[in-house]
């Protein structure tokens, strides 16, 4: 059984959700008015962020110049002359219907749209809750072969979910007569994860019911966290069980009017009782999880009923006076789920949610050829689609990222101002060599590549079981030999320079960043052969984190594969941004004590094992890229199981000595790389690291780490081998 709940100190009733939605909607009134004016005066291509518009067109495999010409054409197109792009009437065939629909110019579409909607509707059911205190309804939809997604306020707790069922086919048939609903028991003991702030619950459903019906017969809706599924001004579709009624469809009268960081607002025909419904684009991709009406309110912010009186939950949602609706962005739901550290069957079920189905997604219109406009421009004069070095794309299985060595005039060894993807190389499904243009390796090649890494990591884990954890005499001999030519009596800058030169010279093998290969199976194990999160102290088996990272890597590779196949004309910056987004949404269970953003994710810093530690994504995210600091009191910072944080820094709950020594190693090994930009570790905080180093002496765990890393990449951490040197080294020379 797995229960993961996020319940802030706030009201948990639906009324609180309404108030929060109304507050968000009200706070965004100026931006929303600007959006509506732009939609009216210029059109959908200009209402949203240009980068998001480009991603949307790329996802549609669309031609920017043609989309722009359609937007500028006031009525049915006719051939024009002069500077305006000429569009003949026969140019508007079936392949352009998707673009016209996107821009609200045409409601005609191919009949495949209906087929896609029918298939999507199969996975949507009515959630029925019957508890001793009463009952209520909502909507939910399958997002994997086993898991259903709905709202937190529909299924608030494991106990409430234990009293719930989901009914599919609760709808009228083509003859108008009701179908016989197919009911499945909800199984929260198999999986249950809920988040009140984002108002979602993911829960397992029984594989079959008492009548022998199979859950898989109703299929599921894949979730995709990539950008480009919808933009401002686009119309969306909602399939729902409003007020617990039979399944209904709100079709293309639902316009997106605002996109927030975690939420989307749309004006729609959806009844407030449709909590937990999927919000679709015209390609029947899930854009958001519908969760709340935006109510009409009185001057005190109290939601109003349809008769103008204050609304109370007991009146029923159908009596709520509303003006818009709010959904939770699917990308935020996926990010929250990916950051959970799960084990056993729960981890397997969560990982299934991130696997793409082995069936094609329904399409509502055939794609057009993907290419930028004649001038390569994008909306409002922003950068051309293809900027910087040329990018050749075949199949996204092996990606080479070329990085500028440094910005002009910048100090530090090889600091990159902006990482740029300069080349993409694909391999065929059998891995024999580069794929030919147009040749697409099967998605199974991604699985095979990840499986090879997984097998190697598990093999390393098994080999380590027979090894002695730490042999003190052998390590002391290796230590003495390593520093044999360092003058132990030296002091200040000479000692720092000698150590820096030694660390660089002996850093022979420079492994790339793959924590599952070496960090989890051996390097970061504690004497009990378990892993401990560096900031929270939570304990995990090595196999748990190895498998969790393998699932994240598979999802990353598939996400990049899909992006490249969608956006074959993407710029180098767009590719780098997509890589960053995938890594943020699908993080590894690993922490760089010197954040990757401080060195632009470059190697060998990124894969240097001396500053990598096991860490669940929640703590990794909580720390962010804040530099370390000491807080004088608990009341002055946000506190978490991982530590304390405010805008000026982060203090770990655990392992201060270990992270201090790892950071000091990094400063010695890579002088000039930290502290040349805002929010990086400033020189005046060096005493914090030295105090942590002295207050928490070196442990057997760190001695083991140091010896294991030396055996892999050749160099050692002087602060672990000779703690007494810390006050003798002049660290001032490591800052730019």
CA dist., res. 59 & res. 48, Å (int): 16
221-240 mean pLDDT? 88
pLDDT at 730: 95
Confidence of residue 413 (pLDDT cuts 50, 70, 90): very low
The answer to whether residue 153 scores a pLDDT higher than 70 is yes
pLDDT digits (tens, 9 = 90+) for 606-630: 999 999 999 988 888 889 899 999 9
538-550 mean pLDDT? 92
pLDDT at 421: 33
pLDDT at 416: 34
Token pair listed for 447: 């699985």
Confidence of residue 382 (pLDDT cuts 50, 70, 90): very low
95-111 mean pLDDT? 62
Q: Which 3 state secondary structure label does DSSP give 248?
A: strand
**656-669 vs 686-695: helix crossing angle, rounded to 10:** 130
Confidence of residue 11 (pLDDT cuts 50, 70, 90): very low
180-190 mean pLDDT? 94
460-471 mean pLDDT? 90
Confidence of residue 659 (pLDDT cuts 50, 70, 90): very high
Beta-bridge partners for 168 = 182
Confidence of residue 584 (pLDDT cuts 50, 70, 90): confident
Confidence of residue 96 (pLDDT cuts 50, 70, 90): low
Confidence of residue 693 (pLDDT cuts 50, 70, 90): very high
pLDDT at 213: 94
The answer to whether residue 665 scores a pLDDT higher than 80 is yes
DSSP string, 267-296: E----TT-TT-EEE-TT--EEEEEEEEEE-
Confidence of residue 245 (pLDDT cuts 50, 70, 90): confident
CA dist., res. 311 & res. 13, Å (int): 14
CA dist., res. 218 & res. 710, Å (int): 54
CA dist., res. 216 & res. 57, Å (int): 33
Confidence of residue 39 (pLDDT cuts 50, 70, 90): confident
Averaged pLDDT of the chain? 79
**388 vs 81, 310, 506, 570, CA distance in Å?**
33, 58, 36, 11
- Greatest CA separation for the chain: 93
100-117 mean pLDDT? 71
Confidence of residue 692 (pLDDT cuts 50, 70, 90): very high
pLDDT at 445: 59
Query: Which ranges of 586-673 would DSSP assign to H, the alpha helix?
Result: 617-623, 656-669
CA dist., res. 362 & res. 115, Å (int): 8
Confidence of residue 252 (pLDDT cuts 50, 70, 90): low
pLDDT at 520: 96
The answer to whether residue 635 scores a pLDDT higher than 80 is no
**330-338 vs 572-585: helix crossing angle, rounded to 10:** 50
pLDDT at 155: 93
pLDDT at 708: 96
**700-713 vs 656-669: helix crossing angle, rounded to 10:** 30
* % the chain with pLDDT above 90: 39
Highest-confidence range of 13-17, 419-423, 457-461, 673-677, by mean pLDDT?
457-461
Highest-confidence range of 107-121, 484-498, 627-641, 691-705, by mean pLDDT?
691-705
Beta strands 3-6 and 192-195: pairing type?
Answer: parallel
pLDDT at 582: 81
The answer to whether residue 271 scores a pLDDT higher than 80 is no
The answer to whether residue 654 scores a pLDDT higher than 50 is yes
The answer to whether residue 192 scores a pLDDT higher than 90 is yes
The answer to whether residue 601 scores a pLDDT higher than 60 is yes
Cβ 129 vs Cβ 160: under 8 Å: yes
Token pair listed for 23: 């507050």
The answer to whether residue 592 scores a pLDDT higher than 80 is yes
Confidence of residue 444 (pLDDT cuts 50, 70, 90): low
Q: What angle do CA 107, 113, 117 make, to 5 degrees?
A: 120
pLDDT at 405: 33
131-145, 257-271, 590-604: least confident range:
257-271
* % the chain with pLDDT above 70: 75
Residue indicated by tokens 């959700």: 17
């Amino acid at each position: 059984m797995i229960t993961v709940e996020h319940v802030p100190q706030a009201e948990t009733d639906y009324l609180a959700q309404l108030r929060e939605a109304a507050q968000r909607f009200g706070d965004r009134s100026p931006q929303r008015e600007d959006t509506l004016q732009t939609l009216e005066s210029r059109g959908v291509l200009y209402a949203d962020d240009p980068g998001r518009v480009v991603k949307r067109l790329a996802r549609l495999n669309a031609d920017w110049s043609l989309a722009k010409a359609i937007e500028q054409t006031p009525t049915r197109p006719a051939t024009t002359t002069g500077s305006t792009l000429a569009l003949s009437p026969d140019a508007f065939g079936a392949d352009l219907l998707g673009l016209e629909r996107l821009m609200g110019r045409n409601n005609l579409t191919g009949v495949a749209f209906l087929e896609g909607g029918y298939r999507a509707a199969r996975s949507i059911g009515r959630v029925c809750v019957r508890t001793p205190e009463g009952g209520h309804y909502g909507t939910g939809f399958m997002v994997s072969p086993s898991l259903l997604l709905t709202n937190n306020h529909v299924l608030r707790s494991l106990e409430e979910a234990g009293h719930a069922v989901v009914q599919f086919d609760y709808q009228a048939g083509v003859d108008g007569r009701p179908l016989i609903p197919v009911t499945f028991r909800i199984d929260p003991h198999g999986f249950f994860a809920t988040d009140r702030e984002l108002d979602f619950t993911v829960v397992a459903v029984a594989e079959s019911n008492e009548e022998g019906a199979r859950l898989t017969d109703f299929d599921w809706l894949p979730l995709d966290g990539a950008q480009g599924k919808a933009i401002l001004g686009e119309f969306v579709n909602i399939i729902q069980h409003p007020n617990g009624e039979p399944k209904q469809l709100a079709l293309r009268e639902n316009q997106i009017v605002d996109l927030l960081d975690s939420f989307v607002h749309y004006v729609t025909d959806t009844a407030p009782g449709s909590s937990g419904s999927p919000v679709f684009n015209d390609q029947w991709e899930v854009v958001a999880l519908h969760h709340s009406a935006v109510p009409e309110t009185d001057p005190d912010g109290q939601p109003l009923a349809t008769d103008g009186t204050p609304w109370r939950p007991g009146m029923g949602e159908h009596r709520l006076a509303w003006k818009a609706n709010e959904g939770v962005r699917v990308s935020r739901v996926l990010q929250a789920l990916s950051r959970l550290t799960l084990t056993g069957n729960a981890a397997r079920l969560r990982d299934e949610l991130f696997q793409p189905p082995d069936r094609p997604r329904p399409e509502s219109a055939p794609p057009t050829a993907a290419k930028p406009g004649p001038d390569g421009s994008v909306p409002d004069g922003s950068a051309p689609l293809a900027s910087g070095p040329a990018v050749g794309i075949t199949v996204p299985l092996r990606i080479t990222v070329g990085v500028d060595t440094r910005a002009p005039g910048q100090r530090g060894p090889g600091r990159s101002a902006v990482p740029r993807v300069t080349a993409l190389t694909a391999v065929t499904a059998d891995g024999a060599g580069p794929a030919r243009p147009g040749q697409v390796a099967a998605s199974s090649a991604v699985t095979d590549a990840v499986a090879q890494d997984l097998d190697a990591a598990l093999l390393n884990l098994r080999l380590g079981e027979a090894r002695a954890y730490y042999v003190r005499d052998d390590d002391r001999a290796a230590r003495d030999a390593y520093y044999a030519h360092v003058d132990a009596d030296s002091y200040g800058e000479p000692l720092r320079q000698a150590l820096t030169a030694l660390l660089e010279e002996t850093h022979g093998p420079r492994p790339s960043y793959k924590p599952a290969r070496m960090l989890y199976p051996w390097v970061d194990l504690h004497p009990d052969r378990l892993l401990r999160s560096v900031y929270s102290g939570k304990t995990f088996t090595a196999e748990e984190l190895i498998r969790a990272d393998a699932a994240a890597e598979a999802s990353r590779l598939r996400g990049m594969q899909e992006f490249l196949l969608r956006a074959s004309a993407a710029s180098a910056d767009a590719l780098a941004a997509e890589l960053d987004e995938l890594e943020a949404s699908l993080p590894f269970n690993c922490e760089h004590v010197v954040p990757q953003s401080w060195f632009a994710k470059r190697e060998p810093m990124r894969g240097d094992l001396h500053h990598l530690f096991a860490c669940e994504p929640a703590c990794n995210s909580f720390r962010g890229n804040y530099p370390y600091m000491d807080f004088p009191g608990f009341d002055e910072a946000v506190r978490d199981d991982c530590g304390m944080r405010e805008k000026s820094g982060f203090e770990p709950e655990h392992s201060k000595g270990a992270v201090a020594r790892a950071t000091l190693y990094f400063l010695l090994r890579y002088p000039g790389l930290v502290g040349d930009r805002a929010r990086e570790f400033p020189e005046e905080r060096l005493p914090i690291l030295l105090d942590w180093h002295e207050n928490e002496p070196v442990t057997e765990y760190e001695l083991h780490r140091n010896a294991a890393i030396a055996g892999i990449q050749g160099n050692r951490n002087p602060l672990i081998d000779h703690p007494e040197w810390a006050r003798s080294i002049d660290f001032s020379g490591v800052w730019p």
